[in-house]
Amino acid sequence: MWYIIAFLSIIIVGVFDGHTSSFAAMLLTFLLGFLSVYSIKSQAGRTNGGKVFGIVFSVYVISAFIASRSFIDGQYFYVSDSMKYLATYSDVISWSWGDIFDHLSHTYLDFTDDNGLFNDSLAFWAYVGNHYFDGTSEFFMTLFLTMFGVLTSLEIFKFFSLYLDYSKAAKYTWIFALLSLYHIYSIVIIRDIVIAYFYMLGLRKIIDKPRILDGFVLLLVVLVTMGIRLYTGLFFGTFIMFWFYKLIQDTKYANYRIIVIPIIVVGVIFVGSALLSSVLMENVTDEVGGYDELYSEREAGGAAASFRSLPVGVRQVVTLLFSQLPLTTFHRFLISTSFSNYYLSILAFVFHIFGFVVFYGLMYYCFIKGLFKKMNFNEKWILIIMLVFVAITLSTHIDLRRCMEAYPVFFLLYIFLGQKYYPHKWHNNNRTFILIGCLIMLAYTFIQ
C-alpha cells in the first residue's frame, strides 16, 4: 500500500509539474528507495521500511514541489544558495570528464574547501535533464536533494533499528523525517542533506558490530564528505578512530592491535591538526562570510557574533547551548508573499521547536537525571563526539544545517533514555519541553 501511495504522488505531482525530467527524477528516487528497503534482510524490517519510505517519499516530493515555487521569477525565500546553484548549473548542456577530474584534484590534492564534488554532481544532474529530457526546472534541480533526503530517512530507519524494534524504529523515523530540519533541507537546493546521507551510512557501520569490510565504506564516507565540505569530512575521521578502537576490542580481531593502534594515534594527530589548521580555518571563514541567509546570525540579534570573543572552550560550550534555543521570530511570515513562503515558514518553526525539545530533553535526561552514567561505552562516546562536532562547527558560524548529522543521534538517545527509564513521564516531559520552546520563541519575538 505504501508503495502505491508513493507512486500516486509521483503521478499527481508529475502532472502538475509537467516536465518529463522531473518525472524521471521522481522515478529514480522511487527505485533507489525501493532497493534500499529491500536491502534489509529481515521481512519485518522491509515491511516497516516500506512504510517509512512511502510516508517520507510522498511528503518530501510534495513539499519539494511546493518549495520550488519559491524560486520562480529569480526570487528565493529560505536560502540564498538555492538561487546561486540554479543560476550556475541549471543551464549546463555539456559535460567534460577532464574538467571534473581537474576540479576534484584541486579539492583533494590542494586541500581546498570549494564543494567541488557537490557542484560537479549537481552540474551532471542538470546536464542529464537538459541533454536527455525536456530541460531543467526549479523542481527538477530540487529533486536532486530530495532524493538524498528520502534515502537518508531510510538510513536513519536502519540506524534506529539497531536500538529499537522495527515498528518503533519506523514510527520515530518518519516523525523525525517530517518534524526535524531534515525536512526543509531536503526540499531546497543545499548540499547538507547529501553530507547527512553519507554520515548516516557511516554511523550505522560505526555503531554496529565492527567488520573489516566496513572500513571501505567508512573510507568512502570520508572521501565523499570531504569533497562536499572539507572540515565535515575530516571530522568523520574521529568516528573512524573510534571504529578502529572497537575493532581491536573484538577478540576476533585482537591480533590486529599491533597494526591498528599506531593507525589510531596517527589518525587522531592528523585529524586534530587538520581541523585546527590555519588553512582550513581561513577556508571556513571565507565560506561563511559570503552567506546572506534568512536564518543567519541576524535572527539571534547578533549575540552569536559576540561569543567569538570568549575563551576557547567556553565559546564552544556557550555557542552549543545558545544555538539549540528556538530563537527565531515571525519575520518570515511578515515577508511571505505566497503559499510556498508560508509553508516553508511553518516548517522552519516546527524544526526549531522540535530541535529544542530533542536537544534539551536529551541534556535533561543525561545530566540532570544522571542517565549519562547508565549509557554504554558506545553511546557515551558517540554522544560526546557529536556534541564536540556541533560545538566546534557552530562556534564558527551558527547555522544548524552545518551540523544536522548529529540530530538523528540526539533523537535516538533521547527516545532510548526517556522511554527506558521514564516511560511513565515520557509524554508529559515532551509536552513540557514543547511548551517551554514555544514560550521562548514567543518571548524572543517580542524582544526583537
pLDDT of residue 257: 59
Q: Which residue has the cell 505531482?
A: 13
The residue-averaged pLDDT of 417-426 equals 87
Q: At CA 418, angle to CA 240 and CA 327, rounded to 5?
A: 80
H, E, C per residue of 327-338: CCCCHHHHHCCC
pLDDT of residue 296: 44
- Crossing angle of helices 80-89/116-132, nearest 10°? 50
pLDDT of residue 272: 58
SS3 195: helix
User: CA-CA distance, 134 to 22, in Å (whole number)?
Assistant: 9
Asked whether 295 and 331 are in contact (CB, 8 A), the reply is no
| DSSP state letter for 80 | H
Q: List, for residues 253-284, the tens digit of each pLDDT value.
A: 656 555 656 665 555 555 555 555 544 444 54
pLDDT of residue 46: 94
pLDDT of residue 282: 47
Give the range with max mean pLDDT: 69-73, 174-178, 378-382.
174-178
Q: Which residue has the cell 531536503?
A: 186
> What does the mean pLDDT of the chain come to?
84
Asked whether 191 and 228 are in contact (CB, 8 A), the reply is yes
Give the range with max mean pLDDT: 101-115, 181-195, 391-405.
181-195
Q: List, for residues 285-338, the tens digit of each pLDDT value.
A: 455 444 444 444 444 545 566 676 777 778 888 889 888 998 876 777 777 778
pLDDT of residue 295: 41
Between 261 and 428, residue with greater pLDDT: 428
Backbone angles phi and psi of 112, in degrees to 5: -105, 130
pLDDT band of residue 372 (cuts 50, 70, 90) is very high
pLDDT band of residue 384 (cuts 50, 70, 90) is very high
Asked whether 234 and 272 are in contact (CB, 8 A), the reply is no
Q: Which residue has the cell 543567519?
A: 296
Q: Which residue has the cell 577556508?
A: 283
User: CA-CA distance, 141 to 122, in Å (whole number)?
Assistant: 8
User: CA-CA distance, 355 to 437, in Å (whole number)?
Assistant: 9
List the chain domain ranges.
Answer: 1-208, 294-448
The residue-averaged pLDDT of 351-363 equals 95
Q: Per-residue DSSP letters for 361-407? A: HHHIIIIIS-GGGGS-HHHHHHHHHHHHHHHHHHHH---GGGGGGGH
Lowest-pLDDT range of 40-49, 87-96, 198-207, 264-273 = 264-273
Is the pTM of the predicted complex or chain greater than 0.85? Answer: yes
Q: List, for residues 9-59, the tens digit of each pLDDT value.
A: 999 999 999 899 999 999 999 999 999 999 998 999 999 999 999 999 999
Asked whether 417 and 328 are in contact (CB, 8 A), the reply is no
What percent of the chain lies above the pLDDT cut of 70?
84
Lowest-pLDDT range of 139-153, 196-210, 267-281, 428-442 = 267-281
